[in-house]
Amino acid sequence: MRDLLPPAVAVAVAGPDDWSGRLHAAEAACLGDRAVDSRRRDFTAGRVCARRAMAALGLPPVAIPAAADRSPVWPAGTVGTITHTRGYCAAAVARSDEIRAVGMDAEQHRELSAGVRRLICLPEEDEQVKRLPPGVHWPAVIFSAKETVYKVWHPVVGSWLDFHDALVHLDPDTGTFTARISSARVTDVPVDHPPALITGRFAVEADLVRTAAALTAR
């Protein structure tokens, strides 16, 4: 993810030992006793990576508990994001006086079913996919980009964003995407300067799609 985010954002990607690393008590309490092993491993790797990213900014290794919706609760003065998919986990952290919000997402690079595509893609995006170069599962890239957009939007606005609330345009030549939030969503939020247009970067490997975006602080 380092290649997709600006220098002000510290990034850490999980290594083999991070999936079974140490949790703070407040973090372990968020998991409870019934968490399945895969959930426990993903959660642990995310927190270990987050603390390593925080250390790169000179921040102390404090606990990062989860809110009721499972989103990470970052220490005051910071913003961050965590993503995980099969065999991959990463975290990114920045100081809030430099970065307003940061989001990233990793997905398996694979074909999506027609039903999933309908849930994710707008008609304009379906038409766009037909014009993009072959060899890439572009709906998976759009899906990942929209997950990243939500992770940027939610900490700033505090409200839900549906897949069809963002129109994503991909530029394969530059590895960038632009997401335009629907005007209905932007005008119906109780914050100043909601992010109506979010730009980010993407990368596609043989088995992995990665996307990330950051808003600079005003």
Could you check whether 2-97 and 104-216 share the same CATH topology? yes
Q: Tell me the C-alpha distance between 175 and 15, whole Å.
A: 26
Nearest in space to 39 (alpha carbons), one of 73, 89, 74, 78: 89
For 72-114, what is each residue's pLDDT tens digit? 999 999 999 999 999 999 999 999 999 999 999 999 999 999 9
Q: Tell me the C-alpha distance between 28 and 43, whole Å.
A: 9
Nearest in space to 149 (alpha carbons), one of 170, 135, 133: 170
Residue 172, φ and ψ in degrees, nearest 5: -65, -20
Asked if CATH classification 3.90.470.20 holds for the domain at 2-97, the reply, yes or no, is yes
For 122-146, what is each residue's pLDDT tens digit? 999 999 999 999 999 999 999 999 9
Alpha carbon of 79 to those of 31, 64, 110: distances in Å? 22, 11, 30
**Contact (Cβ atoms closer than 8 angstroms) between residue 214 and residue 94:** yes
Q: Which single residue is written with the structure tokens 């808003």? A: 215
For 14-40, what is each residue's pLDDT tens digit? 999 999 999 999 999 999 888 899 999
CATH for 104-216, options being 3.90.470, 3.40.50, 1.10.8, 1.25.40: 3.90.470
Q: Give yes or no for residue 178 having a pLDDT over 80.
A: yes
Q: Tell me the C-alpha distance between 139 and 100, whole Å.
A: 28
Q: What is the mean pLDDT of the chain?
A: 94
Domain boundaries, the chain: 2-97, 104-216
Q: What's residue 76's pLDDT?
A: 95
Question: Averaged over 165-186, what is the pLDDT?
Answer: 93
For 146-163, what is each residue's pLDDT tens digit? 999 999 999 998 888 899
